[in-house]
Structure 1
Amino acid sequence: MDSYKHQTTLLLPLSLIIILFSSSASAQLRQNFYANICPDVENIVRQAVKTKFSQTFVTVPATIRLLFHDCLVSGCDASVIVASTPGNTAEKDHPDNLSLAGDGFDTVIKAKAAVDAVARCKNKVSCADILVMAARDVIALAGGPSYAVELGRLDGMTSTAASVQGNLPQPTFNLDQLNAMFARSGLNQIDMIALSACHTVGFSHCSRFANRIYNFSASNPVDPTLNRQYATQLQQMCPKNVDPQIAIDMDPTTPRKFDNAYFKNLQNGMGLFTSDQTLFTDSRSRPTVNTWASNSQLFDASFVQAMTKLGRVGVKTGRNGNIRFDCGRFN
């Protein structure tokens, strides 16, 4: 026993060193990280986000989606905001990111400017942390849960279009494909279903789901898992010869509210993407959908947990990152 205690005592400092210098770095994250650096940072960001929100509701889905596309590719390091240069095609110019709405980028850039306008905060807060705070704030503004965020990320020092390939879910994914992709970021099926509910706000384009209403299969031109009335409505909004970039609400019932209607829609066959509807049609995920459709508090709690875990993915610290003066370019 004494020998064991002695060994444990000797090992503790080493374990602390490993945590402090771990490249995974999520141990560095904590609430109120900027308390002694820029104590009012969360209020500054929140006010900037409110101003942007008052100008356009698109701020909400655009900012949430920007965070999602950032974290699943090389971690939560704001690398998706970096602009391409003649010598490098950045993440934002990969085909999977071309549909990211400009209002998401603008939200982060304006919040960063507001933070840097405060003398003691100038160049002290990362774009990655500002994006995490902004996403939390737009969710609350749209009626979703309010929650505390962990902060302490640095901004990434690389951004390449090649890194995006194969790291973002596609509208045609089934449950196995969704689970496999999220698992690579340390997120389980419950996390994946909770995060999928971000489709309760925002919009997509006709081209992203046209196969479900016109060319699903030789025997079923319309996906049989689609609610028939909903499928007819989608065909009316997206005729075959219409502009494929026409915007369609992801949530046909409460498109401007962050709520659990997403799951009720799935129960009624009104998931816009195959990757949405599969959460109900697959018996492995259906119980979670049913639970959250009937209990918004349980959904909110699970969503906050999933967002917290998402925010820990691929965090940069030490020499692996820095604080960008301009979120759109490297220092």
Structure 2
Amino acid sequence: MAMDRLLVPLHILFLVLAWAVDGEAEQGGFAGFPGFIPPQLGAGFFPGAGGAQEFPPLIPEITIPIPKIPEIPSIPQIPRIPEIPIVPKVPPKEVPVVPEVPKVPEVPVIPEVPKVPEVPKVPAVPIIPKVPEVPPEIPTVPEIPPKVPEGPKVPEVPVPKVPEYPVVPKEQVPKFPAIPGLLPGGMIPRPGVGGFPFPAGRGFPFPGGRPFPFPGGATSAEMGIAVLRPGFYKEKCPAAESIVKEVLQQAVEKDSRTAANILRLQFHDCFVLGCDASILLDDTHTFKGEKTANPNRNSARGFEVIDEIKAALEKECEGVVSCADVLAIAARDSVVLTGGPSWEVHLGRRDSLTASRSLANRDIPPPNSTLPQLIAAFAKKGLSIVDLVALTGSHTIGVSRCASFRQRLYNFAGTRRPDPSIDPALLRSLEHICPPKGNAQETTPLDIVTPTKFDNHFFVDLELHKGVLTSDQVLFAPYAPTSALVTAFAYDQAKFFQEFVASMVRMAAIKPLLGSEGQIRKECRFVNHKY
């Protein structure tokens, strides 16, 4: 723009000079403009202005070079600035009106408590002199009746001679460790009416404190203990007990219920025909075995484990260890593997040649037994009331089927109502597992707190009325002679273990087959063909 303003006057100057050089001052005119004389100069400014006269050019022709102005580069177009979006106006946030804090009422002034008048001093009570004791009245001695004349002499009644049991040499009788808490002469305090004590295994207290004597003054269990002995296989099969435990341990690791199943097998075996492995026999065309009896049908288990143990023993020492002894050893190890006590198992039993379904139905106490029925069933086998409670403690492991306790939930003793002694929470839980119909094979633990651990919590459950079976809960009933033992075992686990071991030794010695009786089975399910 500045350069353009400079070029305009230069251009005008150039025109003026051109006019001055080329033009003629004609008629008094100025060069380039004929007849024109600027008035500022006047007519006499130029000589001879009135006539025609040529004048030399006043100003020589001048050529002024005009430099070429360089082309100004075009300014690049400035990019358009994008429009800034208009931010919407944020409406002001309404601040909630804080409600006016109610005025705290003034605390009324508590009037001053009047001073309590001083209590007058109570005069001292005079000491009453001691009244001399009046001597008791001497009772009148009743007259002694005259001597009654003697009656006729009663003839003596001949007493049949009791058959003598074989005398066992003293050195062959096994010595048992002393059990603390025994009374003099080996008497165990047995709670009952009057707390009547009686010798271990010889009876139990009936109402009135009358002991129940067994024939011959000794029980079948005591006779078995006298003949059976620990270490029976020490020479012929020294690895027998370790083999039993090894195979059983593998089975328990696979299924924790195996321990309770084996323990129950020995109990059901010994209560029928004695501890002779009759429960292991399958039915044949000549007899119906005990496996299908009511107490065992669909509930007795563990037979495959016994078969596996027996097969391992036959490989180690063929035809030496009996199935009855396998059951006794396995029962002990089942207790040990679940946290219970251990003991020396008395061995030397032989296996039966038969079994009895009818005796199994008669002699094994059902789960709805009453306390008198349980006491009588154990007494029949030479077991005491302490044995009854201690052995029932084995229910600290294992389960029970719905069919065994359904009656207690819906029709106890024919009342069409639940057992009133059952804990309400346990009742609701059992009703959920076991409806009035169906689910007969559904199971529930007998010890609801520690079902796989051998401990004394089963007796704690009984004290809380949480026993599942009727035959369990009746042990802790009002005025029951067994209640004191339940409480003792619930309080002292060591005492329970001690009595349980003693009772297991006695039960495992009920009517064993000895010497040449029975046989040593090759397979526990079948009798040997030749014997």
TM-score (norm 1): 0.90
* 333, 340, 358: which one aligns with 1:144: 340
* 286, 290, 294: which one aligns with 2:487: 290
* 74, 92, 97: which one aligns with 2:291: 92
Q: Secondary structure at the match of 1:235?
A: helix
Distance 2:231 2:168 in 1: 21
* 49, 53, 57: which one aligns with 2:252: 53
* 165, 173, 184: which one aligns with 2:369: 173
- C-alpha displacement at 1:163, in angstroms? 2.4
Indicate the structure with greater helix content.
Answer: 1
Q: Tell me: higher relative CO, structure 1 or 2? Use CA pairs within 8 A at least 6 residues apart.
A: 1
Q: Secondary structure at the match of 2:418?
A: coil
Q: Secondary structure at the match of 1:95?
A: coil
Contact 2:168 2:226 (8 Å CA) reproduced: no
Q: Structure 1: 5+ residue runs without aligned partners?
A: 1-13
Larger radius of gyration: 2
Distance 1:66 1:253 in 2: 24
Q: Secondary structure at the match of 1:229?
A: helix
Closer, same or farther: CA 176–299 of 1 in aligned 2, 3 Å: same
Where do residues 33-72 of structure 1 align in structure 2 (5 Å cutoff)? 33-72=232-271
Distance 1:263 1:217 in 2: 24
**1:106 aligned partner:** 304
Distance 2:515 2:334 in 1: 29
**2:128 aligned partner:** none
Contact 1:25 1:316 (8 Å CA) reproduced: no
TM-score (norm 2): 0.57
Distance 2:475 2:413 in 1: 20
- C-alpha displacement at 1:307, in angstroms? 0.3
Percent identical: 36
* 425, 428, 446: which one aligns with 1:232: 428
> What residue identity is the alignment partner of 1:93?
T
> What residue identity is the alignment partner of 2:476?
F
**1:205 aligned partner:** 401
**1:5 aligned partner:** none
Contact 1:66 1:100 (8 Å CA) reproduced: no
**1:3 aligned partner:** none
Closer, same or farther: CA 312–219 of 1 in aligned 2, 3 Å: closer
Distance 2:435 2:375 in 1: 33
* 525, 528, 531: which one aligns with 1:328: 525
1:273 and 2:466 matched: no
Distance 2:419 2:458 in 1: 19
Larger deviation: 217-226 or 283-292?
217-226
1:259 and 2:455 matched: yes
- C-alpha displacement at 1:152, in angstroms? 0.6
Contact 1:212 1:222 (8 Å CA) reproduced: yes
Distance 2:467 2:514 in 1: 39
Q: Secondary structure at the match of 1:248?
A: strand
Number of corresponding residues: 312
Distance 2:422 2:513 in 1: 42
CA deviation map 1:238-264 (0-9, x unaligned) = 122442211111111111111101100
**1:308 aligned partner:** 505
**1:4 aligned partner:** none
> What residue identity is the alignment partner of 1:125?
V
Distance 2:362 2:242 in 1: 36
Distance 1:226 1:312 in 2: 35
Contact 2:268 2:364 (8 Å CA) reproduced: yes
Distance 1:162 1:146 in 2: 34
Q: Secondary structure at the match of 1:304?
A: helix
Q: Secondary structure at the match of 1:100?
A: coil
CA RMSD of aligned residues (A): 1.9
Distance 2:167 2:294 in 1: 42
- C-alpha displacement at 1:27, in angstroms? 2.6
Distance 2:415 2:503 in 1: 39
Contact 1:267 1:290 (8 Å CA) reproduced: yes
**2:313 aligned partner:** 115
Moved over 6 A (4+): none
